[in-house]
Structure 1
Amino acid sequence: MSASSPRTAAPPERLSRFHLRITALTFGANFSDGYALGSIGIALTLIPQSFPVNDVWSGLIASSVLIGIFVGSITCGWLGDRFGRRLVYMLDFVLIVVASAAQFFVHDPGTLFVLRLLIGFGVGADYALGPTLVAEFVPARFRGGLLATLTVAWTVGYTAAYFIGTWVSALGTGDGWRWLLASGAIPAAAVLVLRLGTPESPRWLITKGRLTEARAIVAKFLPEGLDVDAVAAAHARRTPGRYRDLFRGKNLRSTVFGSVFYNAQVIPYFAVYSFLPIILLSLGMDADGFAAGALLNVFLLLGGLVGLWLVAKTGRRPLIIWTFGIMAVALAVVSFGEHAPLWVVLPAFLVFTFVMSASSNLDQVYPPELFPTNVRAAGVGLVNGVSRIGSAVGTFLLPLTLGAWGITPTLLVLAGILAIGMVVSILMAPETSHLSMDDDEL
């Protein structure tokens, strides 16, 4: 797939209540991921009141959800292509609910690390299957906007955790961090209940030859969409999808681009916002970290909302290229915070935060558009998984590099990663905004 490849546009369809429902039910993993990341940064400042946590354990615990997402995305993406989207889409939230609640009872860093690995595994499974289901159900002209809302759900989760965590921290209770971390089980349980009755993807059923089931789901949920017979006839001319197909032909290009662009976005994002209070102190901003942190979180949320409009109104390719460039410059300016006045550094930080949040809406939009149906869940899972292992390494190393190098070199390295993302996007980013999910088969 190249930036200039002509592709067939999907016929116009209406947006239905079911399209909105399947999208809303997929908010859960993104909210849970954002909440888990937003809460752990504050919890790590409170946990030493209950048991000792050194720098290594702090890095491991902060990155544990990301490591779990890596394993869950890759494993469950493959399972979703082999055994169906719906089953994994239900079971992953059982794991998230149980592991989140169990955090209330931990008494050592090792157990907390394992529980957060399990939370990450469940989130990673949903990252592979959730966007895949949305992309396979929603009409092309609405797909980008609805998929982008998934990232906004992440931002809402992160922002909610920041303010709730700040409130818990102000209470000064020794077990406040337990309530903060365990509270993630509440929205996860609600999502699990609401997902009961979710149908299987008819496109996946077609790839398995289960046409009667596919027709029944289309008739009930998609009365104006998806010509089952046409998709089945086209699929019959193609070989079944295999995991190794992700590393061949045009799928290889999609795998490489998707992995690089996703890593280049989320490594700086997670590294900075997992340790935002520490970074603010290193930059000399706000001794207690709340005022500047609160303003940054507001811009994070505003950027996500504006990003919805940008995804709907602009192409994927120009959006990813220009946002990478703006973020790289803004973060480079922030890196000199120790030696520059606040009126220079804080606006640059706000620009970085706003643009990063807006651009990150593509994280849930681009991957399912890069791959054909027969390897879509595996491709989405692989790209998500690879991005999270990079993020986990960055998150683990950030407190160590801050201590060894200081704030300026650390943030300049992250700005360099953003610049790499821009260059790779210029060379490889395809335009996928008008593609039908069946274009590779029709």
Structure 2
Amino acid sequence: MTTSAATPHLIDDGPLTRYHRKLIAACSGGPFLDGYLLSIVGVALAGASTELGLGAGALGLAGAASLVGLFLGSLIFGPVTDRIGRKVMYTVDLLAMIAASAACLFITDGLQLILLRLVVGLAIGADYPIATALLTEWMPRKRRGAVIGWLSTIWLVGAIVAYLVGFALTSLYGPEAWRWMLASGAVFGAIVMLLRLGAHESPRWLVAKGRIEEARVAVSTALEREVTTEDILALTADEEAEAKTSFRSLLAAPFLKRVMFCGLTWMCISLPQFALFTYGPIILAQFGLGNGGAEETLGQIVLNLGFLLGSLPALRWVETYGRRPLMIWTFVAAAVFLLPLGLWPEGPGWLVMVSFFLFTLASGAGTILVFIYPNELFPTSIRASAVGLATAISRIGAAIGTYMVPLSLSGLGTGPTMLIGVGLTVLGLLISIAWAEETRNKSLASLSTQIMSTVKP
């Protein structure tokens, strides 16, 4: 049983209200903080590695620890979010982020640095399925793609702000300010916590759990009009087919292919990005740009701006041209622009920066899809679990790759390392051609019905 196509859906076909805008700001705070926390380490590691005496292996662990934590956090807390709700986890993960960031002021050895970055990653991993699922389940369908894509854009804003803060602290106080760089995340975390006050639970999740009156109050507040119990019961029709789905369902047909598509393409996009976010100054120095000072950080800021600028037109393209063509052409362009760095690593500085910048533009456009696809391709009852599992797949690959980057740079050199990045983008292209679906302007109900109709009873 599904809602009639002639009957407007309360949420999918509803207006964008003041509550929606407040929720967008609140949910955006999580990705902003995620981008900030995962990127500030790229600047801090330069000072931390010298003061703490980190070798290539320890440096790789320090850079990859948060990604390992992100893998574990998304894998564990995605199903928890589906069981106990989006709103509770929405706050708990922020408290962990704030505490772990503040504790970085007291680091005295490499092990403490690695462990705290692991905790930060756990909290970030929890936030990915929480914030994106909550926002997806509240958004009208005609705005959903651009709004969820905006979360990736604001992630990039967080990364840029991290490098600006790192650049400012390095310029004023030198690399020795690395503890303050890592601890600064606590300040932004407190701001995000304030933004999240007053958020309502997802009405789709409440309906699925039989909490009809709570869903009615939440929807009435969001839509700024009185909503009856009968209106809310209409939402139940969209959830009935999903009632028997569970986390285990994600490991079997028809969900497994979608999980692998989301996770693997996310990994192919994020691994080269995280290599730049985490080791950008080091990589630029390998190309002969800068001499170990603030110049590399400034170059990193330029590259991060490229990721951001590339994502902005994509917020429109994802609704006009669609998800599938945007994903495919992102990988094509990223591979083309990264290739010169692998073939001519000793090229002039202008070629290095131009190639890197064009790569970031292309990669930034595809970045907005990493939150959109997993939130649209799965029903409400397992949406957070699916996002968590896709995140876990992407991040375990990214963690291994990030750990290997300094070893690859020192062992293989910059050219072969860049060619490995080209290979990853080509892999993402092939997966997208084979498996990418088009979900533009489709209601969550119709997408759920489409996938549930293929589930064997």
CA contact (8 A) 1:300 1:357 kept: yes
**Equivalent in the alignment of 1:85:** 86
Q: What amino acid maps onto 1:308 in structure 2?
A: L
State the match for 2:438 in structure 1.
Answer: 431
Q: Root-mean-square deviation (CA), in Å?
A: 2.2
Residue 362 (str. 1) matches residue 363 (str. 2) = no
Letter of the structure 2 residue corresponding to residue 107 of structure 1: T
Q: Secondary structure at the match of 1:14?
A: coil
Equivalent of 1:410 in 405, 417, 422: 417
Tell me the distance in 2 between the aligned counterparts of 1:426 and 1:359: 14
Q: Specify whether residues 234 and 281 from structure 1 end up closer, same or farther in structure 2 by C-alpha distance, changes over 3 A only.
A: closer
Identity over aligned residues, as a percent? 37
- Confirm or deny: 8 A CA contact 2:74 2:128 kept in the other structure: yes
1:169-318 correspondence runs (5 A): 169-173=170-174, 175-222=176-223, 227-287=231-291, 288-290=295-297, 292-318=299-325
Q: AA paired with 2:23?
A: I
Residues 18-417 of structure 1 mapped to structure 2, 5 A cutoff: 18-173=19-174, 175-222=176-223, 227-287=231-291, 288-290=295-297, 292-417=299-424
The 1:406/1:227 distance shift into structure 2, 3 A limit, reads: farther
Determine the C-alpha separation between the residues in 2 that align with 1:9 and 1:347. 49
Residue 366 of structure 1, CA deviation: 1.4
Q: Distance in 1 between matches of 2:175 and 2:276?
A: 27
Report if the CA contact (8 A) 2:43-2:297 is conserved. Answer: no
TM-score by length of 2: 0.90
8 Å contact kept, 1:36–1:181: yes
- Cα distance in 2 between the residues matched to 1:73 and 1:150: 17
Q: Distance in 1 between matches of 2:77 and 2:439?
A: 25
Distance in 1 (CA, whole Å) between partners of 2:278 and 2:313 is 23
For structure 1, which runs of at least 5 residues remain unmatched after alignment? 1-7
Distance 1:167 1:317, change over 3 A: same
Residue 18 to residue 323, structure 1, CA distance change in 2 (3 Å): same
Q: Out of 73-82 and 301-310, give the one that drifted further.
A: 301-310
The structure-2 alpha-carbon separation of the partners of 1:337 and 1:160, relative to structure 1 and needing over 3 Å to count, comes to farther
Distance across 2 between alignment mates of 1:173 and 1:261: 38
Mark the CA change 1:441 to 1:292 in structure 2 (over 3 Å): closer, same or farther. Answer: same
Moved more, 20-29 or 334-343: 334-343
Report the AA paired with residue 26 of structure 1. C
**Structure 1 residues 249 and 162 mapped into 2: Cα distance closer, same or farther (>3 Å)?**
same
Distance between the aligned counterparts of 2:338 and 2:271, measured in 1? 13
The CA deviation at 1:355 is 1.2
Is 2:33–2:155's contact at 8 Å kept on the other side of the alignment? yes
Contact 2:163 2:297 in 1 (8 A): no
2:262–2:370 Cα contact (<8 Å) kept: no
CA–CA distance in structure 1, aligned partners of residues 8 and 113 of structure 2: 48
The question of whether the paired residues in 1 share the 8 Å contact of 2:239 and 2:380 is answered with: no
Tell me how far apart the structure 2 counterparts of residues 169 and 344 of structure 1 sit (CA, whole Å). Answer: 27
Taking the aligned partners of 1:425 and 1:351, their CA distance within structure 2 comes to 21
In structure 2, what residue type is equivalent to 1:280? Answer: L
Cα distance in 1 for residues equivalent to 2:158 and 2:205: 30
- Say if 1:152 and 1:238 are closer, same or farther in 2 by CA, change over 3 A: closer
